[in-house]
Amino acid sequence: MITLENEAQPRSIQTQESIFIEEKAFRSRMVLVFGNITDAIASETVRRLLTLDAESNAPITMIISSPGGHLESGDVIHDVSRFVSSPVNMVGTGWVGSAATHLYLGAPRERRFCLPQTRFLIHQPSGGTGGAASDIALQAAEIIKARERIARVIARESGQPLERVLEDIEHDLWMSASEAVEYGLVSRIITRREELLHIDDL
């Protein structure tokens, strides 16, 4: 039977390594957002942002790789990224989709970056419907409101006309890194961390 090396390590060693990595990232003022956006992810991310902000007004770098998830959880991270005093640099990698794109837009355009292989996805929100007809009607109305709100955020942060955004999000719109720059989601593509160090001097 073949066993991965880290699976053979005692749980305590894995925990110590995990804590060490987390502390290292924290000291570097980096926040990692990976996987589906959930209430738990939003809570942990906000806690880190607030703690780092209380420690210093130096820039915070958030690295995002997520297919999306719960819209309101994305709202939380989006809003708190703007709420803190420290400037927040967003760095997309892997894929940044749906609710993850929404939270990514929490930074001003000049602080939105991505790595070369990143893909972005924008689309309208969706939700399950069920129950009484009146409940289904209410849910549909809320989805329409969310669609309008998301479109306005994308339009505001990308510089695209609202009418175009509303049309674009009717269906899944995938963008490569260069296409996301052209659309206005991303300021520029970077390949090295050092490219973030002097952003305030640009």
Tracing tokens 């060693």 back to the chain, one arrives at 13
- Name the H helices within 67-171: 71-83, 99-104, 133-158, 162-168
32-76 pLDDT, tens per residue? 999 999 999 999 999 999 999 999 999 999 999 999 999 999 999
Structure tokens at 41: 């992810």
Integer-rounded Cα radius of gyration of the chain: 19
Q: Is residue 197 part of a domain?
A: no
DSSP state of 161: -
pTM: 0.83
CA distance 33 to 42: 9
* Enzyme catalytic residues: 123
- Contact between residue 90 and residue 117 where contact means Cβ atoms under 8 Å apart: no
User: Model confidence at 20, in pLDDT bands (50, 70, 90)?
Assistant: low
CATH number, domain with residue 182: 3.90.226.10
Range of the domain at 119: 31-190
Per-residue pLDDT at 134 exceeds 70: no
- Contact between residue 48 and residue 86 where contact means Cβ atoms under 8 Å apart: no
